[in-house]
Structure 1
Amino acid sequence: MADREQQADIDRGSSFASELARDREHREKARTAKPLRKLVPFILRYPGLLAAFIVFLALAALLTLTLPAAFRLVVDCGFGGAESSPACSSLPIGDDLSAYFIAGIAVAFALGVVSALRYYFISRLGERVVADLRTRVYSHLLGLSPGFYAQVRTGEVLSRLTTDTTLIQTVVGSSISVAIRTLVTTLGALVLMVIVSWKLALLVLLGAPVVIGPIMLFGRRVQRLSRSSQDRLADASARASETLRAIETVQAFTREDEERRRFSEAVEATFNVALRRIRVRAFMTATIFSVILSGLIGVLWFGAVQVQSGAISPGSMAQFVMYAFIAVSGVGLLTETYAEIMRAAGATERLMELLSSKDTLPVARSPQPLKTPVEGRIGFEEVRFAYPTRPEIEALAGVSFRVEPGETVALVGRSGAGKSTILQLILRFYDPASGRVTLDGNDLRDLDPKALRSQLSVVQQNAPLFSGTVAENIRFARPDATDAEVRAAAKAANAHSFIEALPQGYDTMLGEDGSTLSGGQRQRIAIARAILRDTPVLLLDEATSALDSESEAAIKAALASITASKTTVVIAHRLSTVMNANKIIVLDQGKVIATGTHDQLIKEGGIYAQLAELQFGASVVPETESA
């Protein structure tokens, strides 16, 4: 049991490591922004938020472009005096120095308020769109059959649901807003620069490539190194996750020093990449600052000559410099925003792939209703099936048998014989390639999968539990069950005594997958869950495999009383749990090779007798035959 738990820890660690590694792919950019069009229907659901954002976006852009003009009045009319310029003397403010500053402050204050409202509405819209998108994707994922998950990695699906939606939220709630506002203000600033002084505007435009070139060149280099740094960090985190989740195995094999060395190497690789990024960014900063400041001083030099000659006023010069700053910084911001938009486009494309994925199980348009009450008669008619991941190997090869209502049938055979596959077909997680699986004579393909599964209870071998309380895990089978019914199910599963001994009893919180409980305790809670569901058909997949002998005896007694009125299909490696079954079906390599009771199969010999002799020895031979 300990080996199984350790292996589970290793598997979870490997899965997490794979998820971190795959996260690198989720940062890739799309080639075009076209996939973002598919977000439009989600955005148009909220026309009020969208309209409010557009209004405040326009006002913010207008006020941003108005601020330099207000600053011009402050310089020309406030510092220079109204009498120095006819334009100033014609203003209603006149020569009141304070009034010009108050007007400038009013514009700045209005810009702050409008910008805050723009941010509020677009951020709210972005969060709402992403919440809807996550809900829709998750709802779609829940409806896909296990056949879909057999062909994709669950960690990748979860990463799309979290990482990709976060990228989209960043773009919808921030980047697109910034991009639109920056584009409007940059174009407006360029036009106004020409209006204020076409000579200065021409000088700035001629020098623009010298400024923008280093930004784009170094920016891409820094971006690549940043991504590489994140990749190396993911490698280090993945290694640490694998090791810590399997710490017992690591210590048991005295691998501490080796794991320390490997993690140290991963951390050093992360540091080296980060150091290269820091060097490039430092050089980029020095270059860009030198170029921008030199260019700005050059423009100011030429502007100062223009001011001295009286070609433009000092306020116009200040206004021009502010427009130039808006235009240059806007270009740099658009470069960064473009990269984010392309990554979000890639994320949108991957999410839409999930939403467009088809279920491997077709659902009948007009499902055939089950007659009530369900009798529980199960039939397999020449069923052939191969898993999608290995279509060349048949898991079931012409399997036929019947389970009558109220009958207990055991499936026995070596590992890989096809026992669990039969349960998965009964649950209609898969459809057979040929033949039929029926319930009360109805082909399962003609039934609504939810209606079918509502008549089935299952106890799986790995006894999966969920984070939450003990009571919530038992009530998972029937959410409307009362506390008394939950306790009765726990008592029937021989779980009540250990649950009561927990710190908060039935209200005790369990860790992920019930990790705070032993394997036997988890399995008894899973059995209680199936008992509480109380359906006509009960499916048991090694339901007592993790129990000690005393608990197994108690569970067998409880199951005996419960299965008396139910159709029960049992998978068992412990033959002691199925000796009293109405019928035992022996499987080998996907075929039924023998059927009968325990005594009949012992007399026939074959695989069942071999398995029985390995577990019980010669005592399994009937006395009449040994006499």
Structure 2
Amino acid sequence: MSQIKQVGERGIQMSGGQKQRIAIARAILKSPKILLLDEATSALDTESERVVQEALDLASVGRTTIVIAHRLSTIRNADMIAVMQYGEVKELGSHDELIANENGLYTSLVHLQQTRDSREANEVGGTGSTSAAGQSSSHSMSRRFSAASRSSSGRSMGDEENDNSTDKPKLPLPSFRRLLMLNAPEWKQALMGSFSAIVFGGIQPAYAYAMGSMISIYFLTDHNEIKDKTRTYALIFVGLAVLSFLINIGQHYNFGAMGEYLTKRVREQMLAKILTFEIGWFDRDENSSGAICSQLAKDANVVRSLVGDRMALVIQTVSAVLIACTMGLVIAWRLALVMIAVQPLIIVCFYARRVLLKSMSKKSIQAQSESSKLAAEAVSNLRTITAFSSQERILRLFDQAQDGPRKESIRQSWFAGLGLGTSMSLMTCTWALDFWYGGKLMAEHHITAKALFQTFMILVSTGRVIADAGSMTTDLAKGADAVASVFAVLDRETEIDPDNPEGHKPEKLKGEVDIRGVDFAYPSRPDVIIFKGFSLSIQPGKSTALVGQSGSGKSTIIGLIERFYDPLRGVVKIDGRDIKTYNLRALRRHIGLVSQEPTLFAGTIRENIVYGTETATEAEIENAARSANAHDFISNLKDGYDTWCGERGVQLSGGQKQRIAIARAILKNPAILLLDEATSALDSQSEKVVQEALDRVMVGRTSIVVAHRLSTIQNCDQITVLEKGIIVEKGTHASLMAKGPSGTYFGLVSLQQGGNQH
């Protein structure tokens, strides 16, 4: 079982370093002739980096290897180093050749790092490429939501069976009345549509009555009488055609408008509700982005057809049946009674078919969402799929995912065919009975031939109307499931309400954070405990760094401070108040987050910087961009601040995206600043400037910094060293270094120094 773990959608069950190592293993397993490493070790802590670097050095032997790196230790042994600036190759040569040129660009980068190393004996964050070009954000499995969704190492180790053992709550039976109440504002359309449907229901029996009378006309002996009556009935048919045309327009327009308003309302309410759910809900497999999108798109549409088309058909059918039965009983009650008596047979056939299909529609819906999820993941990770030429593998998986729905649909078709076939044959048998009994009544002079034809035509056409209504029961079955799933979302109470009206809304925060006696495990892996009795105090206005190996729980702390998750036991306090007593929307206005994988939205750079801030002037936006060292590169773009970022920021390099994310946090002017690997995607020049910007921004506000690069944290007021969810050391850089070789922090620094020296 140790080899078979579910990593979750886009790898969210794993920490950044773990995902990166899996991606490297995937590339090594492929044994390629050309190996492309784009910042391949940037997400790793020092210990992992050293091991992975050795593996990559081994894997690179005898292969064409192209390495993009900001950390100089990863490229020092390269046969050829190309130094780029603004899309041009400025220098070319080996490390020794380039370092020999004292005024060269490469030398200046090395000195930049060495000054930092000699100053604080630290890790190198250098680069073989200073240009933003070529840095496609290559953490190919990007993190969903935030750093906090990324869990600790243990989280990926829970067995998959745990997921399956939890019973899914049964959806409540949908209330059709409640669905109609959602459509209450369109009561005028509902009235006009229903009136049209009732009239249209009456057209069918009227047409059948005229048809029956028409047939009996041909039995008359007087030619003139035949002519007159034929003309009359022909005009009746024309009148019915015109009426039918107008009534149909009225009916479909009104119900269509109702349905569209309902779709809009359902989608808005569902999305508004989904956005209030806690992060843990999205970590579940059944709530992947593909499944949610499919629910928003499909379920709302099914609900619309249920209220629009289906409701019209039901009203129409009821109206037609009542009018036809009344007319039949008035014209020839004996024959009508026999014909009405056999109708239930037909209805039973369709009812049985409906029950069968309802039980099967659930399975097919679930199987379809599996393939939707696979397609969504394939599209969002297209670059990785293209790089590994694994299109065929994805198509094979997609084919397998489609296999279940295909078999299910074929089974359904058999049942549907048998059900429909039985009902059709029974309907024909009832005709035989009707003619036999009608003939008997005529022979006994109870009814005339005209009455026989009229009653037969009226009630047979009604049978057809019931049959049409019966065939739509499959849609009703699917519709009922869709309505149930829509209401399940609308009725679900979020465990962490982001906008609790009774919550405290702070105008200002001091920024004091206190985590006391916290036990924590991620909801999707409840058996893997990340923290047990964990406590940490963060002073207001001071900067605290969290360091430790990949998966030691650093990002989990950020998730708890943002209240993405609630602890199982213990409290998280901000400014002395339990975080659960705050109105989260108001609290989060005072918290700025910059994560390792910056989240940009499809929109302009300006929109992305202003995101999360209500109002900002042009000058404020530019100042924030300047502070984040982003103004220069934005100004050099053709459209400047109006440049389109592309979906998830694909038009920009990793470093550029990160600087925009930092500008966004600066513009928010938060009391608490959370930096989760905020400079890991930057080259050394950008890192130096951004680090200075962050140092300026961090002054006077509570800052919590998660970093593998120790250069980014040596100036912090307090450094906390974590190991497997436990604090092993804390103090300033100098006090921790003073512990000598016995200290964990000292060991991390030495490891990094070693990486820089060779």
TM-score (norm 2): 0.67
Matched, 1:399 2:535: yes
1:104–1:251 distance in 2 versus 1, CA, 3 Å: closer
Number of the residue aligned with 1:69: 209
The aligned amino acid for 1:113 is: L
Deviation digits for residues 62-81 of structure 1, max 9, x if unmatched? 33333333445666679969
Matched, 1:490 2:625: yes
- Residue 286 of structure 1 deviates from its aligned partner by 7.8
- Residue 345 of structure 1 deviates from its aligned partner by 2.3
The aligned amino acid for 2:728 is: I
* Aligned equivalents of 2:422, 2:640: Cα separation in 1: 66
- Residue 577 of structure 1 deviates from its aligned partner by 0.6
Deviation digits for residues 536-592 of structure 1, max 9, x if unmatched? 222111111111222211211221222223322211111111111122122223233
1:59–1:216 distance in 2 versus 1, CA, 3 Å: closer
Matched, 1:513 2:648: yes
- Residue 170 of structure 1 deviates from its aligned partner by 1.4
* Aligned equivalents of 1:251, 1:162: Cα separation in 2: 28
The aligned amino acid for 1:42 is: L
* Aligned equivalents of 2:270, 2:322: Cα separation in 1: 38
Match of 1:379, SS? Answer: strand
Residue from 249, 266, 275 that aligns with 1:142: 275
Residue from 184, 188, 192 that aligns with 2:327: 192
Number of the residue aligned with 1:36: 176
Number of the residue aligned with 1:22: none
* Aligned equivalents of 1:207, 1:40: Cα separation in 2: 33
Residue from 304, 307, 310 that aligns with 1:169: 304
Residue from 579, 582, 602 that aligns with 1:444: 579
Deviation digits for residues 569-626 of structure 1, max 9, x if unmatched? 2111111111111221222232333222111111124221111112223999xxxxxx
Number of the residue aligned with 2:752: 615
The aligned amino acid for 1:399 is: S
Deviation digits for residues 49-106 of structure 1, max 9, x if unmatched? 3333333333322333333334456666799699999xx9xxxxx9586454334322
1:256–1:176 distance in 2 versus 1, CA, 3 Å: closer
* Aligned equivalents of 1:11, 1:50: Cα separation in 2: 43
Match of 2:573, SS? Answer: strand
Residue from 130, 144, 147 that aligns with 2:263: 130
* Aligned equivalents of 2:509, 2:365: Cα separation in 1: 56
Number of the residue aligned with 2:287: 154
Number of the residue aligned with 2:250: 117
- Residue 207 of structure 1 deviates from its aligned partner by 6.1
Quick check: 1:464–1:513 contact (8 Å CA) kept in 2? yes
- Residue 132 of structure 1 deviates from its aligned partner by 2.2
> What aligned pairs does 1:188-337 form with structure 2 within 5 A after superposition?
188-198=323-333, 200-201=335-336, 204-205=339-340, 249=384, 296=431, 316-337=451-472
Number of the residue aligned with 2:154: none
Number of the residue aligned with 2:715: 580
Match of 1:509, SS? Answer: coil
Residue from 537, 546, 551 that aligns with 1:411: 546
Gaps of 5+ in 1: 13-29, 89-93, 621-627
- Residue 226 of structure 1 deviates from its aligned partner by 8.9
Quick check: 1:466–1:512 contact (8 Å CA) kept in 2? yes
Match of 2:175, SS? Answer: helix
CA RMSD for the aligned pairs?
4.3
* Aligned equivalents of 1:11, 1:318: Cα separation in 2: 69
* Aligned equivalents of 1:442, 1:259: Cα separation in 2: 50
Residue range with higher mean Cα deviation, 555-564 or 182-191: 182-191
Match of 1:114, SS? Answer: helix
Residue range with higher mean Cα deviation, 135-144 or 45-54: 45-54
* Aligned equivalents of 2:748, 2:368: Cα separation in 1: 50
1:410–1:160 distance in 2 versus 1, CA, 3 Å: same
Match of 2:471, SS? Answer: helix
Residue range with higher mean Cα deviation, 495-504 or 252-261: 252-261
The number of aligned residues is 595
* Aligned equivalents of 1:433, 1:271: Cα separation in 2: 43
Quick check: 2:534–2:726 contact (8 Å CA) kept in 1? yes
Quick check: 2:325–2:459 contact (8 Å CA) kept in 1? yes
- Residue 466 of structure 1 deviates from its aligned partner by 1.5
- Residue 168 of structure 1 deviates from its aligned partner by 1.5
> What aligned pairs does 1:85-96 form with structure 2 within 5 A after superposition?
95=228
- Residue 493 of structure 1 deviates from its aligned partner by 1.9
1:296–1:278 distance in 2 versus 1, CA, 3 Å: same
* Aligned equivalents of 1:400, 1:614: Cα separation in 2: 26
Q: Which of the pair has the greater relative contact order for Cα pairs under 8 Å at 6+ separation?
A: 2
1:251–1:462 distance in 2 versus 1, CA, 3 Å: closer
* Aligned equivalents of 1:214, 1:162: Cα separation in 2: 33
Number of the residue aligned with 1:600: 735
- Residue 526 of structure 1 deviates from its aligned partner by 1.1
Deviation digits for residues 436-492 of structure 1, max 9, x if unmatched? 433333332332212211111111222112222222111212242233433332232
Structure number with higher helix proportion: 1
Quick check: 1:193–1:323 contact (8 Å CA) kept in 2? yes
Number of the residue aligned with 1:179: 314
Match of 1:143, SS? Answer: coil
* Aligned equivalents of 1:591, 1:459: Cα separation in 2: 24
Residue from 154, 166, 190 that aligns with 1:50: 190
Match of 1:539, SS? Answer: strand
1:69–1:354 distance in 2 versus 1, CA, 3 Å: same
* Aligned equivalents of 1:42, 1:527: Cα separation in 2: 43
- Residue 529 of structure 1 deviates from its aligned partner by 1.1
Quick check: 2:361–2:478 contact (8 Å CA) kept in 1? no
1:219–1:570 distance in 2 versus 1, CA, 3 Å: closer
Residue range with higher mean Cα deviation, 109-118 or 244-253: 244-253
Deviation digits for residues 169-190 of structure 1, max 9, x if unmatched? 1111121221232133124323
Matched, 1:571 2:706: yes
* Aligned equivalents of 2:568, 2:408: Cα separation in 1: 52
- Residue 113 of structure 1 deviates from its aligned partner by 1.5
> What aligned pairs does 1:358-507 form with structure 2 within 5 A after superposition?
358-361=493-496, 366-370=502-506, 372-392=507-527, 393-395=529-531, 397-405=533-541, 407-502=542-637, 504-507=639-642
Match of 2:509, SS? Answer: coil
Residue range with higher mean Cα deviation, 270-279 or 136-145: 270-279
Quick check: 1:32–1:345 contact (8 Å CA) kept in 2? no
Residue range with higher mean Cα deviation, 145-154 or 600-609: 145-154
Residue range with higher mean Cα deviation, 214-223 or 174-183: 214-223
* Aligned equivalents of 1:231, 1:349: Cα separation in 2: 14
- Residue 203 of structure 1 deviates from its aligned partner by 5.8
- Residue 388 of structure 1 deviates from its aligned partner by 3.2
* Aligned equivalents of 2:404, 2:496: Cα separation in 1: 46
1:544–1:345 distance in 2 versus 1, CA, 3 Å: same
Quick check: 1:412–1:571 contact (8 Å CA) kept in 2? yes
Number of the residue aligned with 1:525: 660
- Residue 276 of structure 1 deviates from its aligned partner by 7.7
Match of 1:510, SS? Answer: coil
Number of the residue aligned with 1:550: 685
Number of the residue aligned with 1:356: 491
- Residue 390 of structure 1 deviates from its aligned partner by 4.0
The aligned amino acid for 2:260 is: E
Match of 1:8, SS? Answer: coil
The aligned amino acid for 1:175 is: R
Aligned identity (percent) is 28
Deviation digits for residues 111-168 of structure 1, max 9, x if unmatched? 3322321222222223223322332232222223324434574334444333322221
1:61–1:244 distance in 2 versus 1, CA, 3 Å: closer
The aligned amino acid for 1:128 is: Y
